[in-house]
Amino acid sequence: MNPIKSNVLMAALLCSTSLFAQEIEDKKGIVAKNAELVKVQDGFSFTEGPAVNRFGDVYFTDQPNNRIHKWNAISNEVSVWREDAGRSNGMYFKLDGTLVAAADNKNELWAFDTDGNHEVWITAFKGKKLNGPNDLWVRPRGGLYFTDPLYPRPYWERSKESEQDGQNVYYLSDDKTQLFTVAEDLVQPNGIVGTPDSKYLYVSDIGAKKTYKYEIREDGYLINKELFCEMGSDGMTIDDRGNLYLTGDGVTVFDKKGNQIAHIPVPAGWTANVVFAALDRKTLFITASDAVYTLQMKTRGVW
């Protein structure tokens, strides 16, 4: 969910009308010719967690209203898929169709089947409640990573804000028997995504306004941390060229070397997350405050 303070959000909202006049900056031709940002639907409270299934449909959350919505890639229609969704935030599909969600209500990790039934995968770490799982990425080779920043919620019932020693990144093995920390030196980890070959993981430290790149070991541990760019991000995604898409002030795109190559302005106070959608994965689906948007691309997303 939106990590920025209310006064910062207000300032962003006041200037958001100017975003309508801004043009897309695209140095490498990643956006489709003559493409324009299209508002699919508004009227939400705060949209987050877009996850694409194998048909190209996108499931996303309206986190304050505790719902998961589904965008149909063919009809372009949005429907309510699940009420009482554990206040899900970031989400990601496994190859078998399981939708894994960072369920913020009780600081858990949930998994939904195709009918919307859920089971709880994680309730704590070493017997202590997590801060609040925020975003996640499922490794194609098995296992998943998730970030656990601390954004206190008014609906939490706990004796103190945090039971954990820090705001960390975790790895959960594919059989769910192993859960361990893989990054403990970040200020406030948030957005996270890996490469389709499972070799590298990108983690945004939004608290430090930086994004880092790690090498992934076979056992799930991370090594060789390096600074990727001087920008934090809420959610993020990656395309088939290895470009990284960061969010916050619209969508900012960096090539695999960390050079900024594009900026997509979005008429919203905060852009929370982004994913490649539709069957050909050439539709950029953007969750931004009270609305969701699409933009046609030349690049495509990757499984």
Tell me the CATH number at 50: 2.120.10.30
| Residue 84 falls inside a structural domain | yes
Kindly state the tokens that stand for 180. 């361990």
| Residue 206 falls inside a structural domain | yes
Interior angle at CA 296, CA 63 and CA 230, nearest 5: 65
pLDDT value for 157:
80
Q: What secondary structure letter does DSSP report for 22? A: P
Q: What is the mean pLDDT of the chain?
A: 92
| Residue 302 falls inside a structural domain | no
Kindly state the tokens that stand for 195. 């490469």
**pLDDT band at residue 155 under the 50/70/90 scheme:** confident
Mean pLDDT of the 262-289 span: 98
**pLDDT band at residue 159 under the 50/70/90 scheme:** low
Structural domain boundaries enclosing 62: 6-296
Number of structural domains in the chain: 1
Mean pLDDT of the 278-286 span: 97
**pLDDT band at residue 134 under the 50/70/90 scheme:** very high
| Residue 195 falls inside a structural domain | yes
pLDDT value for 22:
79
| Residue 1 falls inside a structural domain | no
Would you say 208 and 152 are in contact if contact means Cβ atoms under 8 Å apart? Answer: no
Q: Is the pLDDT of residue 12 over 60?
A: no
| Residue 303 falls inside a structural domain | no
Amino acid letter, 90:
G
**pLDDT band at residue 158 under the 50/70/90 scheme:** confident
Would you say 172 and 138 are in contact if contact means Cβ atoms under 8 Å apart? Answer: no
pLDDT value for 142:
92
Q: Alpha-carbon distance 290 to 261, whole Å?
A: 27
| Residue 219 falls inside a structural domain | yes
Higher pLDDT, 163 or 234: 234
What share of residues in the chain are helix, strand, coil (percent, to 5)?
Answer: 5, 45, 50
What confidence tens digit (pLDDT) does each residue in 113-129 have? 999 999 999 999 999 99
Rg of the chain, C-alpha, whole Å? 18
Amino acid letter, 171:
Y
| Residue 120 falls inside a structural domain | yes
**pLDDT band at residue 6 under the 50/70/90 scheme:** very low
Q: Is the pLDDT of residue 17 over 70?
A: no
pLDDT value for 114:
94
Comparing C-alpha atoms, which of 170, 165, 263, 248 is closest to residue 211? 248
Interior angle at CA 223, CA 222 and CA 227, nearest 5: 100
What confidence tens digit (pLDDT) does each residue in 53-110 have? 999 999 999 999 999 999 999 999 999 999 999 999 999 999 999 999 999 999 999 9
Kindly state the tokens that stand for 188. 């406030």
Bridge partners, 170 (sequence order): 146, 181
